[in-house]
C-alpha cells in the first residue's frame, strides 16, 4: 500500500535528521514497511540517524540515513528521499548474508540482461515459492538469502551450459 502522505495536501514534516521527505518518492513505494522503533534482536530503541554516526564520521550514499539500534548494531537504510526503511533491521550476520547472496541474483538481471529487475524478482519469488510482494533481499532472513543465492546460481549455471552447447 502506498504511504498516504504521498497524496496529502499539507506540508510534509521530515523527522530529524532528514532534510526533507518527498511525496513523489513516497508514491513510488508500493509495499512500505513500518518504521522500526524497537529492535527485533535486543528490544533496544531504534534511532533515525545520518549514517555518519554508524560509520565513524563518514557518510555513505546519496541518501545517507538509516535506522540504527546502537545497543546491538542492527540497522537498515532508507528509500531515497523518504523516512521509509528499505527492509527489516539486520544484524551483522544478516547484512553479510544479504550482501553475499544477492550478487548472483544481481548478475541475472544486470550483467546477463536476461530479465528486468521486476521480472527477475518475479522469477525468484516463483523459485522460492513466496508471493512477489515478499520477495526482496531486504526482507529475507539468512536461510532465504541462501535459497535465493542457490536458485540464482543454478540459473546462471544453466545459462552457461546453454551457451557452451
Cα separation, 44 vs 152, in Å, equals 35
pLDDT at 160 over 90: no
Asked if the model's pLDDT at residue 165 lies above 70, the reply is no
119-144 per-position pLDDT tens digit: 899 999 999 999 999 999 999 999 99
| Lookup: cell for 42 | 535486543
Cis amide linkage into residue 17, ω under 30° from 0: yes
> What tens digit of pLDDT does each residue of 51-79 get?
999 999 999 999 999 999 999 999 999 99
50-to-33, 54, 101 alpha-carbon distances in Å: 20, 8, 26
Domain residue ranges of the chain, discontinuous segments joined by +: 1-89, 92-164
Average pLDDT (81-92) is 98
Looking at residue 58, what is its pLDDT? 95
pLDDT for the residue 49:
98
pTM above 0.85, yes or no: yes
Amino acid at each position: 500500500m502506498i504511504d498516504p502522505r504521498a497524496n496529502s495536501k499539507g506540508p510534509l514534516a521530515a523527522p530529524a535528521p532528514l532534510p526533507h521527505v518527498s511525496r513523489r518518492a513516497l508514491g513510488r513505494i508500493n509495499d512500505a514497511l513500518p518504521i522500526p522503533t524497537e529492535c527485533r534482536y535486543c528490544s533496544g530503541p531504534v534511532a533515525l540517524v545520518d549514517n555518519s554516526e554508524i560509520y565513524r564520521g563518514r557518510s555513505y550514499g546519496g541518501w545517507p540515513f538509516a535506522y540504527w539500534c546502537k545497543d546491538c548494531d542492527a540497522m537498515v537504510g532508507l528509500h531515497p528521499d523518504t523516512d521509509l526503511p528499505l527492509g527489516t533491521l539486520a544484524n551483522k550476520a544478516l547484512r553479510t548474508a544479504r550482501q553475499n547472496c544477492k550478487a548472483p541474483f544481481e548478475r541475472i538481471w544486470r550483467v546477463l540482461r536476461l530479465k528486468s529487475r521486476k521480472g527477475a524478482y518475479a522469477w525468484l519469488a516463483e523459485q522460492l515459492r513466496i508471493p512477489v510482494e515478499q520477495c526482496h533481499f531486504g526482507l529475507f532472513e539468512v536461510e532465504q538469502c541462501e535459497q535465493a543465492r542457490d536458485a540464482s546460481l543454478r540459473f546462471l549455471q544453466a545459462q552457461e551450459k546453454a551457451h557452451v552447447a
